[in-house]
Structure formats: C-alpha cells, structure tokens
Structure 1
Amino acid sequence: MQNFKDRWEIKKNWQLIFPALGIIGLLLSGYLLANKILNNPESFTDSYTLLILAKILLTLAIAVFFLWVTLKIFEKLEQKWKVTYRWELIAIFIAFAITGSTSAKISDPVLSILGLTRETTLSYIYWPLRIILIFPIYQVLLVIVGWLFGQFSFFWEFEKKMLSRLGFARFFES
C-alpha cells in the first residue's frame, strides 16, 4: 500500500478517495459496456451462470483497458497541467467525467421545459440546440465540481483559458 501511496504522491489517507472513486468509475464503465455488449441473454439460455461469468470477465477486461489508456493519458497530462501531486490528476479526471455526464443529463429536461423534445422537434434543430445548451451548463458545473474536488484553481484557470480562446477574453481582464 505504501508503494501505491508513494507512486501517486498521497500524503494523507483521505486522498485515497480519488483512486478509489477512479477504480469504481472504471469498473462501472466496464460493467455498463459489458452489459450492452452481452445484452442478448438468448445466446446464454443454457447457462445463466455462464452469462454472469462472461459479463464479469468482459467488465474486468474493459476496465483494465480503460485503466491502461487512462494511465497513458496521465503521463502526457502530468507535464502539461503542472499539478502539484499525481493524485490530483485522478480528481481532475473524475471532475471532468461528472461534469460532462451531468451537463448532458441536465440539458434534456431543460429543453423539455422549453417545449422542445426529441419527439416534437426536428432532429436537426433539437441536437444543435441541445449542444448549445450543454456548453454553458458545462462551464458552470466544471468550476463547481472542480471546487468540490478541491481543484478550483485548476478549473478556474482552465475555464479562463478555454473561454479566452473562444473570444471571451475581455471578461477576464482586470
């Protein structure tokens, strides 16, 4: 355990929450994908146990693949983002994941309140409007979730940089 703490520069035990949440997220993502891939139980009618075993194995394989990809990305971003501790990368990734998922989930009910649903609105109008709506929701949520994960300064700088690139630099001039 000490080797793990040293590798991720974890100084206090509460910081272990971020690797734990990361592993839970990887396993959940692996399970959801495995469940989609193996959603045809008729092919496993002989043995329900075989279906469960296949889902477990596929879940683990997908989670390990996602872990491998994530660690490769960490190597590149650790230098670029200049974080103080390596465990902060996990917190930042989790904040990005939560923010993206939440902003996408929130945009649908907001459009429904405005009377625009998938069923009543043409898709070439509905989807661009939804994407346009997701953008400001994402920006606000990113700073809030980043703050909840103790990474407010990183996400505030990230926001200012991104919005400046989109032409909103004058709002951040002091």
Structure 2
Amino acid sequence: MASRQEGFFVQDGDELDYHSAIVPSEGKKPIHVNGHELVVPRLRVRRDSAGKAITQPPGLWFWEVNDPDQLEPDGSETWMELGFFSGPKDLEKKLLDFFARDWGDKVTGPTGALKDGHGVWDRFLFRRSGEQTKKMMEVREEYWQAQRQQQQQQEEEQEQEQEQEQQQ
C-alpha cells in the first residue's frame, strides 16, 4: 500500500476494510455515494501459489476483494481481482469507480479527499488475526516508529563497535 516497500500490512491473512465516511478529524466532510457511506469489507493483497505477495516494480501491489455473494465450486471464498495499485489513494479511486461511478452512482465529498486523497489512510481499517482493528494511519505510524527505533539501535551498536575497535 505504499510506493516504498514498507511491508507493514502484507502478512498472509492481513485484510483491509474501506469506509468512505471516516474523516480524519471533526468538522471534515465524508465521502458519500448517493448520499450514503460506501463500505467495502475484506480487501487484501493477492498471493501466488507459494504464498508470496504479488507485486510489480515500482511498489505496485496486486489487490483483490472478497465477493460474499459467490463461492468457488469447492465451497471456498471467491475473490475478485482489482488490479495493481501503488498506494491508498489509487486503491480508493478504484473502489469508488468499481462500486459506484461505473454504475452511474454519484460520489460526493471534499475536493481534497476525492482528488488528492486527503485522509485516505484513515478511511482504510486494518485487520490482522489476534490484533485489534485500527486505522491504516495508526498502523503506518507504528511501523515508522518501529523503523526509527530499529535504525537508532543499529546506529548505537555501530558506535559501540567503533569504540571497542578504538580501545584495542
């Protein structure tokens, strides 16, 4: 879900739900389809037969959505392909096109949200088995905080190694 290979949401089993009416802060206007919230549950990155996320350079992830109205002949769930997207803004546009605009439905909302993707990280909810559901913005912040801590720890370890080498 990012142009960089962040990998913070692509473990097997991770899913996203999209809620167009979630706003990043009070006073902001939501995105509506014909005056109502668009909810698209169970989005995920498609995997190959080895279980590896399907991607294309530069940083495109292959997304699919669960089709609750159909089952495969063997009784397993059906997933519809959405295509390759580099980030939440592109994925949101596809969802609004696929589930609304392509059917002639009217999509309304703030220009910044519709054209520039403002607040898009908040409109996707992240679900991982055994964890509490949270906004993608929270997941993203946690990921980058962990990355900064890891980098800081590596820098401290390098400094300690250099000090030990100088003492010898």
Give the TM-score of the pair, scaled to structure 2: 0.26
User: Which structure shows the higher helix fraction?
Assistant: 1
Give the TM-score of the pair, scaled to structure 1: 0.26
Higher relative contact order (CA 8 A, sep 6+): 2
